[in-house]
Amino acid sequence: MKKYRNWLLLAVVMGIVVAACGGGDGEGATTTAGETATTGEGGAAGDTGYENLDAALAGEFDGTTVDVWAQWLPESSEASNFTYTLEPFQEATGITVNFQPTPDYETALQVAVDGGNAPDIAQIAQPGKMIQYGDAGSLIDIGSWINTEKLEADMVPAFYELGLFNDSVHGIYYKADVKSIVWYPVQGFADAGYTEPTTWDELTALSDQIVADGNGNPWCISIESQEADGWVATDWMEDILLRTAPIETYNAWINHEIPFNDPEVLEAAELMKQIWFTPDYAYGGNTYINATWIGETQDPMFAEGGPQCWMQKQAAWIGGFWGANRDALADDPALPQTEWPIKPETDVDFFYFPPIEDEFGKPVLGAADMFVQFEDRPEVRALLEWLATPEAAAGWIERGGFLSTLNTVPPESYVYPNTELSVLVQEATTLGFDASDLMPAEVGAGTFWSGMIDWVAANGENTEEVFQGIEDSWPAG
Amino acid sequence: MAQAVETLTPSQSGLKILRALLVVVGVGIALWLGLRLLTDPDVFSGLGPNWSKVSQALVALVLGVGGIWALFYAANTIVEVLPARASDLLRPYVFVLPAVAVVGLYLIYPTVGTVAQSFTEVPEGAGPLTNYTNAFTNADVLIALRNNLIWLLVAPAAAVVIGLAFAALVDRVKWESTAKSFVFMPLAISFVGASVIWQFVYAWKPAGQPQIGILNALWVWAGGFLVDWGIVAQVEPVPWLQIPFWTTFPLIAIMVWLQVGLAMVILSAAIKGVPVELTEAARIDGATELQAFFRITMPSIRGTILTVYTTIAIAVLKVFDIIFVTTGGNLDTSVVAVRMYQEMFRFRNFGQATTMAVILLVAVIPIMVVNIRNLRRQGIGS
Amino acid sequence: MTAATSRMGRLSRRTNDGAGWLVKIVVFLIVAVWTIPSLGLLVNSFRTSVDSSSTGWWTALFNPLASDWTFDNYVRVLGSGGLFDALVNSLIVAIPATIIPITLAAFAAYGFAWLKFKGRSLLFGVLVGMLVVPLQLSLVPLLQVYQGAGLTGSFLGIWLAHTGFGLPLAVFLLYNYISQLPKDIFESAYIDGASPFTAFIRLVLPLSVPALAAFAILQFLWVWNDFLVALVFLGTSSNVAVLTIELASIVGSRGEAFHLLTAAAFVSMVIPLIVFLALQRYFVRGLLAGSVKG
Q: How does pLDDT run across B268-313, given as a tens digit for each residue?
A: 888 877 888 888 888 888 878 778 888 888 888 888 888 889 889 9
B186 lies within 8 A of chain C by CB: yes
Contact: C136, B344; criterion CB under 8 Å: yes
pLDDT tens per residue, range C114-142:
888 888 888 888 888 788 777 777 888 88
**Residue B226 and residue B235 in contact, taking contact as beta carbons nearer than 8 Å:** yes
pLDDT at residue A71 greater than cutoff 80: yes
ipTM above 0.90, yes or no: no
Q: Spell out which chain A residues touch chain C, with contact meaning CB-CB distance below 8 angstroms.
A: 28-31, 71-78, 100-105, 107-108, 111-112, 114-117, 225-226, 293-296, 299, 317, 320-321, 323-324, 326-327, 329-331
Among all residues of chain C, which has the CA nearest to that of B300?
C180
What is the band of A477 on the pLDDT scale with cuts at 50, 70, 90?
Answer: low
Contact: A25, B23; criterion CB under 8 Å: no
All chains having 3 or more CB pairs closer than 8 angstroms to chain A: B, C
Among A9-13, A46-50, A229-233, B257-261, which is the least confidently predicted range?
A9-13
Closest approach of B313 to chain C, Cα-based (Å): 10
pLDDT tens per residue, range C209-226:
888 888 888 899 889 988
* A35: in domain: no
- Chain A residues with CB under 8 Å of B41 CB are 27-28
Mean pLDDT of A34-47: 41
- Taking the complete model, does pTM exceed 0.80, yes or no? yes
Q: Nearest CB to A71: which of C53, C136, C253?
A: C253
**Residue A106 and residue A90 in contact, taking contact as beta carbons nearer than 8 Å:** no
Mean pLDDT of A154-163: 88
* A348: in domain: yes
* A34: in domain: no
Measured CA distances, C100 to B60, B61, B185, C161, C282 (Å): 9, 8, 25, 11, 19
A356 and A261 in a common domain: yes
Q: Please provide the DSSP assignment of A225-238 as one string.
A: -GGGTTHHHHHHHH
What is the band of A175 on the pLDDT scale with cuts at 50, 70, 90?
Answer: very high
pLDDT-above-70 percentage for chain A? 90
Contact: B331, A441; criterion CB under 8 Å: no
What is the band of A395 on the pLDDT scale with cuts at 50, 70, 90?
Answer: confident
**Residue A423 and residue A411 in contact, taking contact as beta carbons nearer than 8 Å:** yes
Residues 425-444 of A with CB under 8 A from B: 440-442
Q: How many Å from the N-terminal Cα to the C-terminal Cα in chain B? A: 8
Mean pLDDT of C187-198: 81
B25 lies within 8 A of chain A by CB: no
A301 and A278 in a common domain: yes
pLDDT-above-90 percentage for chain A? 54
- Which residues, including other chains, have CB under 8 Å from residue B174's CB and lie 6 or more apart? C17
pLDDT tens per residue, range C20-29:
788 888 889 9
Identify the burial level of A147 via C-beta atoms within 10 angstroms of its C-beta, where 0-12 means exposed, 13-18 middle and 19 or more buried: middle
CA distance C225 to B22: 42
Report the pLDDT value the prediction gives residue A157, as an integer from 0 to 100: 85
- Chain A residues with CB under 8 Å of B69 CB are 4, 7
- Chain A residues with CB under 8 Å of B139 CB are 469
- Chain C residues with CB under 8 Å of A112 CB are 143, 232
Name the average pLDDT for chain B. Answer: 83
What is the band of C258 on the pLDDT scale with cuts at 50, 70, 90?
Answer: low
CATH code: domain of residue A267 = 3.40.190.10
Number of inter-chain CB pairs under 8 A, A vs B: 132
Report the pLDDT value the prediction gives residue C7, as an integer from 0 to 100: 40
Contact: C72, A102; criterion CB under 8 Å: no
pLDDT at residue A39 greater than cutoff 60: no
CA distance C194 to A202: 93
| Architecture (CATH level 2) of domain C79-280 | Orthogonal Bundle (1.10)
A6 lies within 8 A of chain B by CB: no
- The SS3 assignment for C267 reads helix
Give the type of residue at C258.
F
Among A401-415, B44-58, B61-75, B84-98, which is the least confidently predicted range?
B44-58
Mean pLDDT of B212-216: 91
Contact: A104, C248; criterion CB under 8 Å: yes
Mean pLDDT of C164-191: 86
Per-residue three-class SS string for C71-121: CHHHHHHHHCCCHHHHHHHHHHHHHHHHHHHHHHHHHHHHHHHHCCCCCHH
CA distance B49 to B20: 40
Contact: A76, C256; criterion CB under 8 Å: yes
A314 and A459 in a common domain: yes
| Most confident region among A78-92, A370-384, C51-65 by mean pLDDT | A370-384
Residues 102-131 of A with CB under 8 A from B: 106-107, 110
Q: Nearest CB to B64: which of C34, C100, C285?
A: C100
**Phi, psi (deg, nearest 5) at residue B267:** -65, -35
Among all residues of chain B, which has the CA nearest to that of A109?
B345
pLDDT-above-70 percentage for chain C? 85
Give the type of residue at A123.
Q
pLDDT at residue B257 greater than cutoff 50: yes
Looking only at the bridges linking them, the beta strands covering A164-165 and A168-169 are antiparallel
Contact: A457, B244; criterion CB under 8 Å: yes
More confident residue, C280 or B110: B110
Contact: C127, B99; criterion CB under 8 Å: yes
Residues 237-266 of B with CB under 8 A from A: 239, 241-244
Report the pLDDT value the prediction gives residue C251, as an integer from 0 to 100: 62
pLDDT at residue A181 greater than cutoff 90: yes
Report the pLDDT value the prediction gives residue A311, as an integer from 0 to 100: 95
Residue C113 C-beta-side C-alpha neighbours within 13 Å:
28
What is the band of B381 on the pLDDT scale with cuts at 50, 70, 90?
Answer: very low
* A171: in domain: yes
CA distance B328 to B337: 11
Mean pLDDT of A71-86: 83
pLDDT at residue A357 greater than cutoff 70: yes
CA distance A219 to A240: 16
All chains having 3 or more CB pairs closer than 8 angstroms to chain B: A, C
Q: Nearest CB to A329: which of C72, C136, C256?
A: C256
Among all residues of chain B, which has the CA nearest to that of A14?
B30
pLDDT at residue C18 greater than cutoff 80: no
Number of domains in chain A: 2
A413 and A273 in a common domain: no
Structural domain range at position A72: 51-178+367-433
Measured CA distances, C3 to B367, C185, C287 (Å): 43, 20, 14
Best mutation target among C107, C154, C201 (most B Cβ atoms within 10 Å) is C107
* A325: in domain: yes
- Chain C residues with CB under 8 Å of B309 CB are none
Give the single-character DSSP code of A306: S
A453 and A419 in a common domain: no
Out of 3.30.565.10, 1.10.520.10, 3.90.1580.10, 1.10.3720.10, the CATH code matching B130-204+239-377 is 1.10.3720.10
Looking only at the bridges linking them, the beta strands covering A363-373 and A121-124 are antiparallel
What is the band of A242 on the pLDDT scale with cuts at 50, 70, 90?
Answer: very high
**Phi, psi (deg, nearest 5) at residue C87:** -60, -45
Contact: C231, A294; criterion CB under 8 Å: no
Closest approach of C168 to chain B, Cα-based (Å): 8
**Residue A104 and residue B344 in contact, taking contact as beta carbons nearer than 8 Å:** no
Domain ranges of chain C: 1-70, 79-280
Name the average pLDDT for chain C. Answer: 79
Measured CA distances, C89 to B52, C93, C154, C166, C254 (Å): 11, 6, 11, 19, 27
Angle at alpha carbon of residue B340, lines to B335 and B346, rounded to 5°:
120
Report the pLDDT value the prediction gives residue B44, as an integer from 0 to 100: 59
Closest approach of B177 to chain C, Cα-based (Å): 8
Q: Nearest CB to A290: which of B23, B69, B239?
A: B239
Contact: C288, B275; criterion CB under 8 Å: yes
Domain ranges of chain B: 10-120, 130-204+239-377
pLDDT tens per residue, range B183-213:
888 888 877 778 888 988 999 998 888 899 9
Looking only at the bridges linking them, the beta strands covering A171-178 and A363-373 are antiparallel
What is the band of A100 on the pLDDT scale with cuts at 50, 70, 90?
Answer: confident
Report the pLDDT value the prediction gives residue C255, as an integer from 0 to 100: 55
Contact: C121, B372; criterion CB under 8 Å: yes
What is the band of C284 on the pLDDT scale with cuts at 50, 70, 90?
Answer: low
Among all residues of chain A, which has the CA nearest to that of B208?
A284
Report the pLDDT value the prediction gives residue A18, as an integer from 0 to 100: 36
Among all residues of chain A, which has the CA nearest to that of B137?
A473
Contact: B64, C213; criterion CB under 8 Å: no
pLDDT at residue A1 greater than cutoff 70: no
